[in-house]
Amino acid sequence: MIGTSLPLGVLTDNPNQEADKRLLDAYGGSRALLRAFRELGVGAVELRAVRPDTPPSVTEACARAVLDVGLALTVHATLAELSAEAFFAEVAPALALLPGDHPTVPLTVHSARTGSETLDRAATIRLLRLWADYADRKGLNVVLALENNRVHANGLSIVQCGGVYSTVREVDRPNVGTCFDFGHLYSNFLTYPACTPFLPPDGFLRMAVQTHIHGVKGITHFPLLEDALPLEDYLRHLRAAGYRGIYNLELESGRFWREVEPRDGFELSIHRLQTTLAELEEKGE
């Protein structure tokens, strides 16, 4: 299934930047946008992002907009020093709307990032265990996905794929996996090739429960132009590891709207992702 991330402001017809307004205007509003994406083959939408200060009414309105047009729901949440009750209160308005047959919802988070890798790793492990155990006790239909992120200084980091993999292994909960962010990996590889392998560890791929897919053209979250991402290589290895979840585009209109119209960027990316997946299916890969 193909998915796409959308800002809360787009889903509520309340864009906070000109690029998102152009995207909405191109379709005639959020409801028409969601219907058009569904017709193009999108099956899920990720709320990007639900934060501790997001009003519950906004979370509920966004989730309802997605579900009402027949799309599945995923969530980009925030790892912060919150109790399990407080963390799930952020996303509870969305989870409460899910039909009984809705697939498991990935809740994607980044590792803690204060500058101390030792402390950040310990905080990430502690919080993910607390939240995973709470979700299990409450019977919540969710899985936590720890995402590989960009590094901003040369050297290995817990936000790289290897670090995320070892962190999730230490968390050691069945409802915690990884989110493979294609664009973050490729950006790190281009910027720090000496310490960033081209492909993630196999274990990281086997533990993947969500993806974030975007191109890199000087900046990340760019559309999937032909030279912006080694899309086929990443998809092939991910699928070989057994992944059959959502292939989720994570574009950010504000980063590319002066070069590519937001509507064109999304539709081009949806088409390229569909085409590449179909070609891999034909090859049996």
Mind listing the domains of the chain with CATH numbers? 2-283 (3.20.20.150)
CA torsion sign for 229, 3, 275, 160 is positive
- Report, as ranges of residue numbers, the positions in the chain whose pLDDT lies below 70: 154-155
pLDDT in tens, 175-201: 999 999 999 999 999 999 989 999 999
pLDDT of residue 23: 98
Question: Which residue type, as a one-letter code, is found at position 86?
Answer: A
Helical spans, DSSP H, in the chain: 8-11, 18-27, 30-40, 56-68, 84-95, 117-138, 161-171, 182-191, 202-206, 231-240, 262-283
178 closest CA partner among 141, 140, 205, 149: 205
pLDDT of residue 99: 97
Q: Is 28 left (phi over 0), alpha (psi -120 to 50) or beta?
A: left
pLDDT of residue 14: 97
pLDDT of residue 115: 80
pLDDT of residue 65: 98
- The CA distance from 230 to 43, in Å, is 23
Q: Is 44 left (phi over 0), alpha (psi -120 to 50) or beta?
A: beta
Q: Give the helix/strand (H/E) hosting 13.
A: none
pLDDT of residue 152: 82
pLDDT of residue 246: 98
Return phi, psi of residue 218, to 5°. 85, -40
Return phi, psi of residue 205, to 5°. -70, -40
Q: What is the pTM of this model?
A: 0.98
